[in-house]
């Protein structure tokens, strides 16, 4: 069989399996949960974007259950910095206004990210002082504009290499040297004297070596005297996580004594090696129960932190169908269900697990 068509069949198979799981024997168990924010003793965050706010069911579900909002993209450079270097705050202001109108805390995400390489900066790549000035100017302008409106900022996002070994080479490091992250924290503090300022990354639970590199970088920034005041662990995980790994990461990160943000939680239920993996016959209800165990572990470990270290616990999307894991280029087989609420906005076992963990059950 030619590789291409073989791949297509393997990719389609899990979708067929999950469709078959809709029969009565494998239907999702009914779950009830109180409004989550009322029973969870710390700020409960969710990622969202303004395009979703026209849907009243979305807004109702969000505001009933969550007390904090992270803009999924509308406070990033991609939204704010135009190619010609001008600032466009239409999107970031709109999402900040939504948060204010609905009494939600707003978490700023994100000032400096290797993955954002705006034309306005690429044009001055290698220019020396003009690049450093533009870097400072961007952080001062954006963090300054939202001073008093955000409860904290992801100042530097995803600085550690994919494999966990060392720091990423990126536009910012290339131009400003290895201390570009510390510099970003200093600029952010200059703009906003009060907000907790976070270093944020992913796979800190999946890859212990990445966690070590992350903590090493955090310690270097702190040693330089720069105002890093919080650590964010994205927690993009899956039901295939080794039990105890998420708990170990939260505990280990908390050892520096800084506030912790579980900043982008989702728990993929896809096959261990994605849609191309061997056929996985695990019934849907079992996958969702497993997902609930991972969420329970994360929430339980977070609840166990001293109150001053519990900045917030944030999930990366509201309903399963809102997840980045369902949309290009991450769609996979299109059937993932990584969040706390199903496509129709009903609480899943994972939502119940969060409630139970927060109550010490
Ligand atoms: O989920 C976000 C997606 O909607 C955006 O298109 C993308 C680029 O802005 O960013 C995604 O969010 C990422 C987050 O900002 C940083 N950690 C990984 C998240 C998933 O890719």
- Say which residue the tokens 């990584």 belong to: 338
Going by alpha carbons, the residue nearest to atom 20 of ligand 1 is: 324
What is the CATH architecture of 32-358? Answer: Alpha-Beta Barrel (3.20)
17 Cβ contact partners less than 8 Å away, ≥ 6 residues apart: 279, 280, 281
Predicted pLDDT of residue 24: 37
**Mean pLDDT, to the nearest integer, of 34-48?**
97
Length reported for the chain: 361
Report the separation in Å between the CA atom of 196 and the middle of ligand 1, taken as the mean of its atom positions.
21
What are the two backbone dihedrals, phi and then psi, of residue 223, each rounded to the nearest 5 degrees?
Answer: -65, -30
When pLDDT is cut at 50, 70 and 90, the band that residue 8 belongs to is very low
DSSP state of 346: P
User: Does the predicted TM-score (pTM) go above 0.75?
Assistant: yes
Which helix or strand (DSSP H or E) is residue 197 part of?
Answer: strand 197-201
User: 326 CB under 6 A from ligand 1?
Assistant: no
For residue 110, cis peptide bond before it (omega within 30 degrees of 0): yes
Predicted pLDDT of residue 279: 62
Atom in ligand 1 nearest the alpha carbon of residue 76? 9
Atom in ligand 1 nearest the alpha carbon of residue 115? 8
Cβ atoms 28, 289 nearer than 8 A: no
Going by alpha carbons, the residue nearest to atom 21 of ligand 1 is: 324
Cβ atoms 107, 145 nearer than 8 A: no
62 Cβ contact partners less than 8 Å away, ≥ 6 residues apart: 46, 48, 69, 102, 318
What are the two backbone dihedrals, phi and then psi, of residue 59, each rounded to the nearest 5 degrees?
Answer: -65, -40
**Rounded distance between C-alpha atoms, residue 54 and residue 240, angstroms:** 35
Predicted pLDDT of residue 250: 98
Beta-ladder partners of 199 = 156, 231
Report the separation in Å between the CA atom of 117 and the middle of ligand 1, taken as the mean of its atom positions.
14
Cβ atoms 48, 318 nearer than 8 A: yes
List pLDDT tens digits, range 254-286.
Answer: 999 999 999 999 999 998 765 444 567 889 999
Assess whether pLDDT exceeds 70 at residue 242: yes
Measured CA to CA in angstroms, residue 69 lies from 39, 81, 225, 294, 352 at distances of: 18, 22, 30, 22, 21
User: 264 CB under 6 A from ligand 1?
Assistant: yes
Predicted pLDDT of residue 311: 98
Measured CA to CA in angstroms, residue 211 lies from 62, 208, 238, 258 at distances of: 31, 5, 17, 15
**Rounded distance between C-alpha atoms, residue 98 and residue 66, angstroms:** 13
Q: Which two tokens stand for residue 165?
A: 């070994």
% of the chain exceeding 90 in pLDDT: 86
Atom in ligand 1 nearest the alpha carbon of residue 316? 1
**Mean pLDDT, to the nearest integer, of 280-302?**
95
Report the separation in Å between the CA atom of 325 and the middle of ligand 1, taken as the mean of its atom positions.
10
**Rounded distance between C-alpha atoms, residue 321 and residue 346, angstroms:** 12
């Amino acid at each position: 069989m030619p590789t291409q068509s073989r791949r297509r069949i393997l990719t389609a198979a899990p979708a067929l399996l999950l469709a078959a799981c809709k029969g009565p024997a494998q239907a999702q168990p009914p779950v009830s949960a109180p409004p989550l924010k009322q029973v969870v003793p710390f700020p409960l965050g969710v990622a969202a974007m303004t395009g979703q706010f026209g849907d009243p069911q979305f807004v109702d579900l969000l505001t009933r259950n969550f007390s904090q909002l992270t803009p999924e993209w509308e406070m990033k450079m991609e939204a704010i910095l135009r190619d010609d270097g001008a600032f466009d705050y239409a999107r970031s202001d709109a999402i900040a206004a939504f948060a204010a109108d609905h009494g939600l805390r707003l978490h700023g995400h994100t000032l400096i990210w290797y993955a954002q390489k705006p034309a306005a900066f690429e044009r001055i790549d290698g220019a020396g002082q003009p690049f450093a000035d533009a870097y400072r100017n961007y952080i001062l302008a954006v963090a300054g504009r939202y001073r008093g409106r955000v409860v904290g900022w992801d100042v530097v996002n995803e600085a550690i290499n994919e494999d966990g070994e060392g720091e990423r080479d990126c536009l910012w490091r290339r131009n400003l040297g290895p201390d570009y992250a510390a510099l970003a924290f200093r600029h952010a503090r200059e703009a906003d004297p009060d907000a907790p300022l976070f270093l944020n990354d992913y796979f800190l639970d999946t890859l212990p070596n990445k966690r070590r590199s992350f903590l090493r970088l955090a310690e270097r920034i702190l040693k330089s005297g720069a105002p890093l005041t919080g650590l964010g662990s994205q927690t993009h995980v899956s039901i295939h996580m080794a039990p105890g790994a998420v708990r170990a990461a939260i505990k280990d990160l908390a050892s520096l004594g800084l506030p912790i943000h579980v900043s982008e939680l989702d728990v993929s239920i896809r096959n261990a090696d994605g849609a191309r993996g061997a056929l996985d016959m695990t019934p849907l209800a079992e996958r969702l129960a497993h997902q609930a165990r991972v969420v329970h572990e994360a929430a339980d470990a977070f609840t166990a932190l001293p109150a001053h270290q519990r900045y917030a616990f944030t999930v990366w999307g509201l309903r399963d169908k809102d997840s980045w894991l369902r949309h290009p280029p991450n769609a996979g087989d299109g059937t993932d269900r990584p969040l706390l609420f199903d496509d129709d906005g009903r609480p899943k076992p994972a939502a119940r697990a969060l409630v139970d963990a927060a109550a010490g059950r």
